[in-house]
Structure 1
Amino acid sequence: MSSHHIVKDDQEPALIIANGASCHPELLGQLLEWSPIVIVLDSAIERVMALDIKVDVLLGDFDRDFDAHYYKEKQYPLEIVHAPDQNKTDLEKAFDYLIERNIPAVNVIWATGKRADHTITNLTTIAQYRNSLKIVVLDDHSKVFLLPRKFEKWYPANTIISLIPIGEVKGICSKNLYYPLENDTLTLGYRTGSSNHVAQDGLVLIEHQEGNLLLMECMD
């Protein structure tokens, strides 16, 4: 796989490559093509370099034997960001880095699969960045993002849509979903909106009054 950067515009989403399960090369290539900056998290760097991907930033706590000069030579020019704060995950630190750079949006891959604790943490941590960064987590089976209070998007009929609350979400209403929601409450661990689907070709409307609600576009 070759380098990235058809564009160099911070209005395009950045790309974070975490260290979970790999995605299909086609998806990876599509995201690399339009990303103005590629950030790799810590120990994923060896897997990424094996794919001949040009990296802009390597970020992590580097809590192992780490040779900065080696990676700088292999990936020149490369910015290495040492982020030792143990109260945050490397993914959170990467989000903070992008906010400091005034980059408004990011796609995240390799953030699901492998360890379940990492997957759950990576998906739910999106909520704390509601007002500062637009985050989309992608893998070969789903596209996950946090919903604004009012969300509208055109979908073809039968598109699988899951609504997963982070904690409790109140006042949820929908239009054009097969299982409609009418001022409903969803609570993680008790009642979720998993495996709903679009009723017919057209706009889907989802609104909620309180809480943080993830939408997952699922591909079986």
Structure 2
Amino acid sequence: MSSHHVIREKQEPALLIANGEACQPELLGQLLEWSPTVVVLDSAIWRVLELGIKVDVLLGDFDRNLDLDTIRAQQYPLDVVHAPDQNKTDLHKGIEYLIERGYPAVNIVWATGRRADHTIANLTDIVRYKDQIRMVILDDYSKVFPLVGRFEKWYAAQTPISLIPVGTVEGVVTEGLTYNLHDESLTLGYRTSSSNEVAEDGFVRIAARTGDLLIMECWD
């Protein structure tokens, strides 16, 4: 158990910290307050330790020759998970670790910004796990999560909402947006529903017949 635990383990989303652009301390603090488990990918560990965050799990391929003795001296207890599979990214491994241990949900931070290839891969790759664990990628400007089944949520008017397909998505139907879709197709690189917005205070509903769709709540 970590010093940040304020709830029972696995009742709230775990927190997975990658190695992209750091978010504001306020956002990170809010997520830590409700996270029973903090998993850090190995490339980010020193940045995390500098912030004084209590880490539960350090995971990765450890190809940077980390000084694990020094890390363990600062973080105890610490579960060190060596995941050397080079066919998977460390983010994949972190999500799979949580799935295998029965976590129902995970918030992911520091997964965007810095390198464009990492950002694109992290945002699009999460759809492969959408039926196994609830996932949200957050940064200072966006909240991104895959559509699972039928989505319904109350929003204030003019809240920016973007729908980004991963590949092709068929039969997209929306309600409550300024520009609604009526059984239409979206294809990455050709047609998306970017920079749409909530028409008026009320519920937004989103569904799709086939394919993987990312829902993005964005703000400037």
Please give the TM-score of this superposition, normalised by the length of structure 2.
0.97
* Counterpart-to-counterpart distance in 2, 1:205 and 1:100: 31
Equivalence for 1:181: 181
Q: Is the 8 A contact 1:59 1:81 kept in 2?
A: yes
Equivalence for 2:100: 100
Q: Is the 8 A contact 1:3 1:52 kept in 2?
A: no
Equivalence for 2:69: 69
Alignment partner of 1:12 is 2:12: yes
Q: Is the 8 A contact 2:131 2:148 kept in 1?
A: no
* Counterpart-to-counterpart distance in 2, 1:98 and 1:120: 22
AA of the residue aligned to 1:169: V
SS in 2 for 1:167: strand
Q: Is the 8 A contact 2:8 2:36 kept in 1?
A: yes
Instruction: Quote the RMSD (CA, aligned, Å).
Output: 1.1
Equivalence for 1:124: 124
* Counterpart-to-counterpart distance in 1, 2:178 and 2:212: 22
Q: Is the 8 A contact 2:150 2:205 kept in 1?
A: yes
SS in 2 for 1:9: coil
What is the 5 A alignment of 1:36-75? 36-75=36-75
Equivalence for 1:209: 209
AA of the residue aligned to 2:55: V
Tell me how far 1:70 sits from its aligned partner: 1.2
Q: Greater shift after overlay, 126-135 or 106-115?
A: 126-135
Q: Which 4+ runs in 1 deviate beyond 2 A?
A: none
Structure 1 residue ranges without an equivalent (≥5): none
* Counterpart-to-counterpart distance in 1, 2:168 and 2:137: 21
* Counterpart-to-counterpart distance in 2, 1:25 and 1:66: 25
Structure 2 residue ranges without an equivalent (≥5): none
Give the percent of matched residue pairs that are identical in Structure 1 and Structure 2. 63
Please give the TM-score of this superposition, normalised by the length of structure 1.
0.97
